[in-house]
Amino acid sequence: MLLSLGWVTALVAGIFAIHIGQKLCFPYFWKDVFYLVRVIRYGLRMEMYKVTSNVCTVLDRFIQQAAQIPHKAFIIYEGISYTYRDIDDRSNKVAQVFEKLGTVKKGDTVALLMNNEPDFVCVWFGLNKLGCSVAFLNTNIKSRSLLHCFNCCGAKILVVGKDLLETLVDILPSLQEDNIQVWVMGKESLHPGVQTLLDKVEEAPGLPIPAERRAATSLKTHTLYIFTSGTTGLPKAAVITHLQSLKAAAGFWAYGGTCDDVVYIPLPLYHSAASLIGIGGTLHIGATCILKKKFSASQFWIDCKKYNVTIFQYIGELCRYLCNQPKAEGEKEHKVRMGVGNGLRQDVWREFHRRFGEIRMCELYGSTEGNLCFMNHIGKIGAVGRSNFFYRLIFKYDLVKYDMVKDEPVRNAQGFCERVQKGETGLLLSRVSSRTPFFGYAGSKHLTEKKLFRDVFVKGDMYVNTGDLMVEDHEDFICFRDRVGDTFRWKGENVATTEVTEILGLVDFIQEANVYGVQIPGNEGRAGMAAVIVRPGCMFDGKKLFEHALRDLPSYARPLFIRIQESMEMTGTFKQQKFQLVESGFNPSKISDPLYFLDNAEKCYVPLTSAIYDRILSGQQKL
């Protein structure tokens, strides 16, 4: 008896010691294992789809859920609850309307321009049920760029939300010239040639469309196009295949989400975060989501308490706005346990925890079109992801040395890139292979090719250039440092410098423009700034430039600052020199060139005085 008791004690002590040792040496061991098991389970499922040529798509999953949990709330929007069956029925009706007209066939693309509302999802699913791809259009895109979107994805039909029809008025004739049918999600239309959809949907039978219409035999079949800002001046359509949409829909699940979760989606559905991860992720786990038309910082916690929200989606800016709200009683009394998103900065992260409690913040890294993703499943502050031996077996990525001045990766004497050491910042490249394919952009081989680097480490290899500078620390955490190249982020949107440059170049008194992003303390991302040369014999006209920017650029892409220069510096490879301009910022007391600031109240670019500069730095000036 004694002996056996001793044995048990020894065993318990041993396990305890192992547990402590493991905690000290590998503090993230169990979390890593839990996460890896999910990654591997997911990977096996994908492999099975490949072998059997029978893909269970996100839509298939939705239809399964609608059969299994028909009465469960799927989307709650403006206080009204829509069950899985409601959305299934209504999307059947949308499909039936188009089916009856016979205007679309399997493989066609239909464009969708809508703000967040349940019908966004119904139209998306309805068209997918017919085997059509859907192209999500960014509702901020200005008409000039919008026309181009139809060309790149080949859409011949546009479904537009009732509240957005007015923004299309000036391009309606051009759309008709191009034979693009416009359907408004309303019951009446005042514009000739615009057809109404809502009345027909309400009358249509809710009968399901036969499953073979939506059936997918390959993970590589296109299902969506999501527009991201382009580098040649116009938006480009990232191809979303079933592989990518399935991967994104597994996001909440990989973080441990279950059917008891309530997900809060305040981000726009035309971005992959809200649509693929938010809606896709909610239905994957059979949960409920609270869909918001727009994010409101003052409403956020009220909603979370009212609906017992457990998971919310964020971008870094959103958490900062929440922290900037006046303090209230009982800020930690809520059920939110997890945030999933991207771009949370360390200072905001800490403040967020301090104010609102220990909510696990799960950073997720991965571009819409990219073939790589990182997840910070540990919740370590400041990291976007975590790597380890197994992860590297699945995803092949590397960080290489980058020359900030020349704005390109360093190539050695043999012409190859060089990996950085642990702890050093490098450009993130992700290898293209059959397991991690890169689908690029619709309608443009050239744009796809521009994202690729060849002969990186050996002759014949191929990598996607993410354009992001990252660092991997000694604990295998991956942290974001900066974005390089032709784009920067502002207010949660990508800004393509070349797009802005092109638009500024259309102003008659501007001879040349060089657009870049500058950091403003207390703000995420970078604010747009343009160095311009004024045409000889012309004068800078702040009013005219303001009106031009207002008309042709979405609000987030309008340069906040203008710097007038005499001449423009070029790099050795005849690219515009940006590095020094970025470094020198926008401080009027340090820069001798005339500077201007976009003043929305004055509706004009006004001289940037020290007083304005101080107001910007102290956060008093609205940007």
Ligand X SMILES: *[C@@H]1O[C@H](CO)[C@@H](O)[C@H](O)[C@H]1NC(C)=O
Residue with tokens 């008409």: 143
Q: Are 469 and 403 in contact (CB under 8 A)?
A: no
Query: In angstroms, what is the minimal distance from the CB of 66 to ligand X?
Result: 21
Q: Which of 37, 36, 28, 87 is nearest to 59 (CA)?
A: 87
Residue 200, both tokens: 């027909």
Residue 284, both tokens: 């994957």
Q: Which of 453, 448, 450 is nearest to 428 (CA)?
A: 453
Query: In angstroms, what is the minimal distance from the CB of 420 to ligand X?
Result: 49
Cβ nearer to ligand X, comparing 308 with 584 = 308
Cβ nearer to ligand X, comparing 333 with 449 = 333
307 lines the binding site for ligand X (CB under 6 A): yes
Query: In angstroms, what is the minimal distance from the CB of 332 to ligand X?
Result: 16
Query: In angstroms, what is the minimal distance from the CB of 305 to ligand X?
Result: 8
Cβ nearer to ligand X, comparing 288 with 368 = 288
Please state, in angstroms and rounded to a whole number, the distance separating the CA atoms of residues 478 and 464: 18
103 lines the binding site for ligand X (CB under 6 A): no
Dihedral angle, C-alpha 258, 262, 263, 269, nearest 10 °: 110
Query: In angstroms, what is the minimal distance from the CB of 357 to ligand X?
Result: 17
Cβ nearer to ligand X, comparing 333 with 569 = 333
Angle at 518 between CA 568 and CA 588, to 5 degrees: 75
Give the length of the chain. 623
Q: Are 88 and 96 in contact (CB under 8 A)?
A: no
Cβ nearer to ligand X, comparing 307 with 516 = 307
463 half-sphere exposure, CB direction, 13 A CA radius: 23
Please state, in angstroms and rounded to a whole number, the distance separating the CA atoms of residues 499 and 487: 10
Q: How far is CA 519 from each of CA 97, 295, 342, 525, 603, rounded to the nearest angstrom?
A: 49, 24, 18, 7, 23
Query: In angstroms, what is the minimal distance from the CB of 252 to ligand X?
Result: 19
Cβ nearer to ligand X, comparing 307 with 391 = 307
Query: In angstroms, what is the minimal distance from the CB of 283 to ligand X?
Result: 19
Q: Which residues pair with 224 in a beta bridge?
A: 134, 240
Query: In angstroms, what is the minimal distance from the CB of 308 to ligand X?
Result: 4
SS3 call for 74:
strand
| Torsion angles phi and psi, residue 518, rounded to 5 | -115, 150
Cβ nearer to ligand X, comparing 180 with 304 = 304
- Contacts with ligand X: how many residues (CB under 6 A)? 2
Cβ nearer to ligand X, comparing 308 with 444 = 308
Read off the DSSP letter of residue 569. Answer: -
Contacts of 369 (CB under 8 A, 6+ apart): 228, 238, 239, 438, 439, 440, 441, 451
Cβ nearer to ligand X, comparing 264 with 307 = 307
Cβ nearer to ligand X, comparing 143 with 308 = 308
Query: In angstroms, what is the minimal distance from the CB of 353 to ligand X?
Result: 23
Cβ nearer to ligand X, comparing 225 with 307 = 307
252 lines the binding site for ligand X (CB under 6 A): no
Please state, in angstroms and rounded to a whole number, the distance separating the CA atoms of residues 341 and 459: 37
Please state, in angstroms and rounded to a whole number, the distance separating the CA atoms of residues 608 and 616: 10
Task: Select the residue whose beta carbon is closest to ligand X and give its number.
Answer: 308
Please state, in angstroms and rounded to a whole number, the distance separating the CA atoms of residues 478 and 383: 6
Query: In angstroms, what is the minimal distance from the CB of 76 to ligand X?
Result: 9
- Among positive and negative, which fits the CA dihedral 434, 439, 444, 447? negative
Query: In angstroms, what is the minimal distance from the CB of 262 to ligand X?
Result: 8
Query: In angstroms, what is the minimal distance from the CB of 322 to ligand X?
Result: 21
Query: In angstroms, what is the minimal distance from the CB of 118 to ligand X?
Result: 18
Query: In angstroms, what is the minimal distance from the CB of 269 to ligand X?
Result: 23
For helices 84-101 and 118-129, the axis angle rounded to 10 degrees is 50
Please identify which residue in 64, 103, 232, 308 interacts with ligand X, judged by CB under 6 A: 308
Q: How far is CA 441 from each of CA 114, 156, 216, 226, rounded to the nearest angstrom?
A: 22, 18, 20, 9
**H/E run at residue 340:** strand 338-342
Cβ nearer to ligand X, comparing 308 with 387 = 308
Residue 569, both tokens: 């510096």
Please state, in angstroms and rounded to a whole number, the distance separating the CA atoms of residues 52 and 152: 32
Cβ nearer to ligand X, comparing 309 with 400 = 309
Cβ nearer to ligand X, comparing 85 with 334 = 334
Please state, in angstroms and rounded to a whole number, the distance separating the CA atoms of residues 429 and 462: 9
Q: How many Cβ atoms are within 10 Å of 26's Cβ, its own excluded?
A: 11
Residue 589, both tokens: 């007391």
Cβ nearer to ligand X, comparing 139 with 310 = 310
Query: In angstroms, what is the minimal distance from the CB of 307 to ligand X?
Result: 5
Angle at 439 between CA 503 and CA 410, to 5 degrees: 70
Parallel/antiparallel/unpaired status of strands 311-315 and 262-265: parallel
Residue 599, both tokens: 């003043």
Which residues of this protein are in contact with ligand X, per CB under 6 A?
Answer: 307-308
